[in-house]
Structure formats: structure tokens, C-alpha cells
Amino acid sequence: MSDQLDFNKLLDLPGVEITCCEQKDDCINIDLKVVLDGTNCPQCTTYTKEINQIRPIVVRDLPISEKQVYLTIPRRQFYCKLCQRYITEKLPFIDLRRKYTQRYEKNIYHQLFHSNFELVCKKENLSPQQAKSIFNHVQKLKNK
């Protein structure tokens, strides 16, 4: 059995690997890369590896040792030659157009549901608008 820790397993996010990790005073920044070379087109299901553009996004994840954690992930846009459409890659742990991992949003939802709104905002360093957005998003997903 290996004595080395596999930080990718500890992070437990499917389809990505850690490329860099930096700890600052109040937060931890983790750079990730996507493991797969391409994606399936949602229209025609053709697998494509043709990348049109890559724009990194920063999303918040669950804290580690009481430090805020931010993940930098390359948001890849592919081009399907068959459909002639651009496809934004879907990652299984982040909903589209969200700035938080799904597990972070569920954690905040649970805290807000069982605790004082202002205390959660202060503890998590979230604005009231951010907290409301997370709560409403998770509530909407639960009602589907």
C-alpha cells in the first residue's frame, strides 16, 4: 500500500485532476484540469475534440481546515462539425452559470435552512444576495 496521499481522491470531483494548489492566509486556491479530451454533442451525440475556446472559471467549494476553497477550472467550448454548433462542456459537479460547486451550494442550503441567515452569511463570507441565490437555486432543484 502506498504511503502517498492522492489529493485528487481527497478532493473527490469526477473528471478533473489537480495541477496546482496554493494556500494563502485566508483561502486555498486549487487549479484543475479536465481529464477527458472531448465531449458529446447534446444535439447529435457526436463525440468531438475540437476546442473552440477555453475560458477559466473560478468556483467556490467546501472549506478545508476552515479556509475558503476556490477552484480554477478551464471552461471549454467545443465545436461540433456535424451540427455546426458550439458546445459548452458540462461538468458533473457544477451547474451551468453557477459560481459554486453543487456540494457547496447544498451545504449552504442546509446551513440556511437550519440556522440564522445573518450568521451563515457572516461565517461563509457571503452577501445576502449570494446566500439567497444559493438557497433559491437548491430549493428549485429539490422541487423538480
- pLDDT tens per residue across span 84-126: 999 999 999 999 899 999 999 999 999 999 999 999 999 999 9
Where are the chain's structural domains?
A: 1-93, 95-144
Dihedrals phi, psi of 55, to nearest 5 degrees: -125, 115
pTM of full prediction above 0.85: yes
> Measured between alpha carbons, how far is 76 from 39 in angstroms, rounded to an integer?
10
* Residue-level pLDDT at 1: 44
> Measured between alpha carbons, how far is 20 from 56 in angstroms, rounded to an integer?
14
Instruction: Report yes or no: 121 and 133 within 8 Å, Cβ to Cβ.
Output: no
